[in-house]
Amino acid sequence: LAIRLVNVPKTRRTYCKKCKRHQPHKVTQYKKGKDSLYAQGKRRYDRKQSGYGGQTKPIFRKKAKTTKKIVLRLECVEPNCRAKRMVPIKRCKHFELGGDKKEEGKQMYSQTK
């Protein structure tokens, strides 16, 4: 059973808007920040939920997508630049950052024991 995945190298030489030329960039995967407890919607929701009366808002249960779009976070490695930018790529089930390169003609097999 060959596993199909997207493998992205940890460094990429690409254009930097701040340096105005191609520079090596460090590649990481974008992650969502922690939700603030003090956002207006969260404060309103918590206020409405408190006390008696059970769940007050509908809980969404009809999720259609099984994957998320992968977003790469590129950071310029130039010491006095460090400009960051996001680059979205397509949807995929398995995403890997800086994994082993697949040699031509060989398939990667998952080791299950």
Residue 5 has a pLDDT of 87
pLDDT in tens, 15-73: 999 999 999 999 999 999 999 999 999 999 999 999 999 999 999 999 999 999 999 99
Looking up tokens 């490695």 gives 77
Q: What is the domain range of residue 7?
A: 1-31+67-99
* In contact, 106 and 1? CB cutoff 8 Å: no
pLDDT range class, residue 113, cuts 50, 70, 90: low
φ and ψ at 42, to 5 degrees? Answer: -70, -40
Q: What is the pLDDT of residue 109?
A: 64
> What's this model's pTM, rounded to 2 decimal places?
0.77
CA-to-CA distance for 38 and 18, rounded, in angstroms? 34
Kindly state whether residue 43 falls inside one of the protein's structural domains: no
User: Which residues are within 8 A (CB) of 4 and not within 5 positions of it... i.e. 6 or more apart?
Assistant: 93, 94
Domain at 14, CATH number: 3.10.450.80
In the chain, the number of structural domains is 1
